[in-house]
Structure 1
């Protein structure tokens, strides 16, 4: 439709709006169609022609910047049944941010379903959603060619047939099943990628990390990206390959860090070595100590004291300096071996109380068993319930009723919903949301009845995820 046509239609519209006839304003071709009729019929015919022109015949051309998108990929799991979508939408509405909404999607995926795209979609940069959504993430990122977003096998030949999210998911699977093949792909295909992509690929080496990866990781010491070199160094440190991570300079950062740690002895009959942090004398020293813990590798520090990693962890005097405890745990999380992480996690969980919360810093390194042990420890002590909202990477749908009833959590939840403290009630509603993700279907159903009996309104939005969880059980045999 050109400007002349638009101007003509505008004159007709203005004539009708003002209540007058528009026949004399019509184009000559339109008058021929309407001329043989009476005045009222002429106006009706003109109106029909104008509507046809505006709505059908003369639609504006699409902008040249507009791109045609391929259809939304079909995922490998069935869509959530229609009858459960109202429960799902209620749970998503109550979830306050993208992290919590992703947890809802993870719970549904654990029961064998995916969400309807009109209810929820992952973002283009999402790396936390279940792997089943990788094709949707790539679609959101603008995958606009006809190639498949996922093939059966990732190889050097099919590398470019995978979009980023699907490729990442395939590489994680390969690192768990055939780590050597995944390493070869990362080495050969990742070299030509930009620095941020190379960094993301090297980070995947943490899955299935073993001594076979050492030569490749050492070769990255010449990588042009400092972040890639640092990531490779931390992965090497987890494998027991020690070396000063600080580039340049004549000072030894490990010796400087060791100077902030005091070696002592304890026990009268059976003497054993202990290590305790020395209190910094100034803010500058405190900041320097924090920088050293963040930049040095745990293995190098242990070697400096002539100990093994488990021995050093066992000798550390937790509770002397809370800041130093946190720095040490973070240090082990990024550069300690798997054995060191397991040893530290077991020690902190066994200690309970405030120390158990330090395990939250190790979340990405914990196996499923230790993760569950930590959550049970948190539930056992109602004083630490706030830590539930900080738990990352936990499995969905495993928490049993005994895990709640055997500790102090259930009685604390009952007391909170029956009391008059609004702040406590709001916090309790957040805990119920987290438990709704962790609980089994049977536990979710039982907890709803228990909390409602204690005084929480049956229609409370905080029960949304628990309701969805409980309802999902009926579909397991129908899949």
Structure 2
């Protein structure tokens, strides 16, 4: 449309805005269309023509920077049924942050469904989303080509046919099934990747980690990325390979750390060796000890005292210095062997109380059985229920009613929701949400009735995940008929 035509439309618009007729201001061609009609009809016809011209002829052109995206990938699981979407949205709305929203999606995936993309989608940087969402993660990251889905086998030839999230999942699966083949792929194809990608690939070596990986991990000591070298060193330490961190100064850092720990004896008849953190004299010492725990490897510390990993763990005097306890547990989680992690987790859970919270730092290295044992311990004593929201990597939908009824959690929840303490009520509602993720469908339905009977309003948003949990099972049973 020319500038003259645009000016004519502007005159028509101004005439209508001022409340007058615009027929005499219209172009000759438009007058021919409207001239045979009554005055009011003439104005209506002109208005229709002007609207068509403005909506079509003057529609702005798309900017050259605009790119056409590929359609959103279809996921391997069916979409959540439409009738359950209101329950999903209610649960997502109550979830306070992205991590808790991902937990809702994880529960849905565990029951064989995925969310509608208008209700929830993982972010481009989301590595905690269920594996089924990998194509959406890559799509969010800007993947715009047509590459193979992860149903294709990952090989050196198909490496570039996978987007990053799908490739990461395929590599993890390959490490479980054929660890040597996955290691070869990481070694040959990962070398040309940027440092951030290389780090993520090396981190996958933790899956199926074995002595066969030592040679490759040692070769990474020459990697150009300091983070990659650090990750490789930690993985080697888990395999019992002695480390030599050099970033802490000319003095042997392990010896310096050992100097912060004193050896003692306990028992009258059977004398046994104990280890406890010394009392520190200044904030500078506290900072230095924290740095040493973070930079040294657990195997090196064990060797320094001439003990085995279980011996040092069993001899450590927990409760003398809470910070030192936390540093030691974190050290084991980062560089201790699988046996050391299991030994420490079992001991802390058996001790119970506040020591149970220390196990949270080991969560990512615990098997599903120990994770469940920890959660049952938390529910049993009901002293650290807030830890339920801190548990990482827990499975969804396994907690039975007996796990709640046999401990103190149910009575604590009933007391909180029936009382007048608003702080306790809000805390109880958060615990109920966490249990909604862990519970079986039958447990979820039973818990709803229990806490409502105790005084929780039936419309409480904290019941959203429990209601979704129970409804997912109902939908599954209907679809199986």
SS at match of 1:353: coil
Please say if residues 147 and 163 of structure 2, whose CA atoms lie closer than 8 Å, have aligned partners that are also in contact: no
CA distance in 1, matches of 2:53, 2:435: 59
Please say if residues 151 and 162 of structure 1, whose CA atoms lie closer than 8 Å, have aligned partners that are also in contact: no
Q: Cα deviation per residue 1:305-333 (whole Å; 9 max; x = unaligned)? A: 11111111111111111111111000001
> Could you tell me how far 1:149 is from its partner in structure 2?
4.9
Distance 1:5 1:339, change over 3 A: farther
- Once the two structures are superposed, the pairs formed by residues 180-195 of structure 1 within 5 Å of their partners are 180-195=180-195
CA distance in 1, matches of 2:248, 2:277: 27
SS at match of 2:383: helix
- Residue in 1 aligned with 2:126? 126
CA distance in 1, matches of 2:3, 2:229: 60
CA distance in 2, matches of 1:30, 1:238: 83
Structure 2 residues not aligned, in runs of 5+:
none
Number of residue pairs aligned between Structure 1 and Structure 2: 479
Please say if residues 176 and 208 of structure 1, whose CA atoms lie closer than 8 Å, have aligned partners that are also in contact: yes
Q: Cα deviation per residue 1:410-456 (whole Å; 9 max; x = unaligned)? A: 00000000000000000000000000000000100111111111111
Q: Cα deviation per residue 1:443-478 (whole Å; 9 max; x = unaligned)? A: 001111111111111111111100111111113342
> Could you tell me how far 1:8 is from its partner in structure 2?
2.8
Distance 1:150 1:57, change over 3 A: farther
- Residue in 2 aligned with 1:423? 423
SS at match of 2:318: coil
> Could you tell me how far 1:58 is from its partner in structure 2?
4.0
- Residue in 1 aligned with 2:167? 167
CA distance in 2, matches of 1:334, 1:3: 70
Q: Cα deviation per residue 1:3-31 (whole Å; 9 max; x = unaligned)? A: 54433322211111212222233234333
> Could you tell me how far 1:173 is from its partner in structure 2?
1.1
SS at match of 2:354: helix
Q: Cα deviation per residue 1:142-201 (whole Å; 9 max; x = unaligned)? A: 111233454421111111111111111111111111111211111111111111111111
> Could you tell me how far 1:59 is from its partner in structure 2?
2.3
CA distance in 1, matches of 2:66, 2:351: 60
Please say if residues 275 and 317 of structure 2, whose CA atoms lie closer than 8 Å, have aligned partners that are also in contact: yes
SS at match of 1:307: coil
Please say if residues 122 and 136 of structure 1, whose CA atoms lie closer than 8 Å, have aligned partners that are also in contact: yes
Give the stretch that moved more between structures: 436-445 or 157-166: 157-166
- Once the two structures are superposed, the pairs formed by residues 22-61 of structure 1 within 5 Å of their partners are 22-61=22-61
- Residue in 2 aligned with 1:386? 386
So what's the TM-score if we normalise by structure 2?
Answer: 0.96
Say yes or no: does 1:6 pair with 2:3. no
CA distance in 2, matches of 1:299, 1:235: 11
